[in-house]
Structure 1
């Protein structure tokens, strides 16, 4: 059983080893609020070491689609299945959050999103991406980018 992410009382539990733990906790809470508002579902995270299959799936997509290998250790993983879409989020020690949106129906949307916590530098492995800025009450300034998944996973 994982940890339910509270977006009212933001906690750094599980993220303490991150140098930007508070900003990463805000980013995680921002995702929880989104899922609560849009899908009326609870956002639950588990330790990355307890979700190796999901983490390997995300790692495989990054490697095969764009030859990206994330240098930072993964701390937590979340999986949500809503409206025929599998969403997997991975929160990394560096402050990076990656989400994979994967519509199970052929021809649906499939993409990888990157979000950088306030206070972190763009990781070298993502230096080729342009990041847009977004303000968040929970996370401060979020920088984000994405790419469309072309393969089948």
Structure 2
């Protein structure tokens, strides 16, 4: 069942099994606030098992672009179009959030972003490949993030 992310009353609903559930909920709320404020979009997530096509698309892009396989279990996912971008998010039990931004136009921006919840270790599959920048968030504490540009067609 879809869950509308509330960034005013942050909840761990759907994320309870994560060892960093509070921080991951803050990270998810931070994304919800961003899309509401910038685009007027209501950020809604579903249990990963209810939207396997989103998880599979993100996993395929990671594997084909950089030979990355995320070892953590996906908890929630979402996909939506906003302002000429096709977005997909997967939130993992470890506290990792992966998003795929894919411009709908042929020459549009295309990238994969990684965000680490406050308190989690950098996953082994990402540690040697990326450097993570830090940003502070009222909702999520310290978020560490990195990205890469998608070169293929998906």
1:22 correspondence with 2:22: yes
Aligned partner of 2:85 in structure 1 is 85
5+ residue gaps in structure 2?
Answer: none
For residues 10 and 149 of structure 1, the distance between their equivalents in structure 2, rounded to whole angstroms, comes to 32
1:36, CA displacement in angstroms?
Answer: 0.2
Aligned partner of 1:125 in structure 2 is 125
Aligned partner of 2:135 in structure 1 is 134
1:80, CA displacement in angstroms?
Answer: 2.0
Aligned partner of 2:152 in structure 1 is 151
Aligned partner of 2:69 in structure 1 is 69
1:83, CA displacement in angstroms?
Answer: 1.3
For residues 100 and 89 of structure 2, the distance between their equivalents in structure 1, rounded to whole angstroms, comes to 6
5+ residue gaps in structure 1?
Answer: none
**Under a length normalisation based on structure 1, what TM-score does the superposition of the two structures give?**
0.99
- SS of aligned partner of 2:17: coil
Aligned partner of 2:10 in structure 1 is 10
For residues 71 and 28 of structure 2, the distance between their equivalents in structure 1, rounded to whole angstroms, comes to 20
Aligned partner of 1:58 in structure 2 is 58
- SS of aligned partner of 2:70: coil
For residues 56 and 84 of structure 1, the distance between their equivalents in structure 2, rounded to whole angstroms, comes to 22
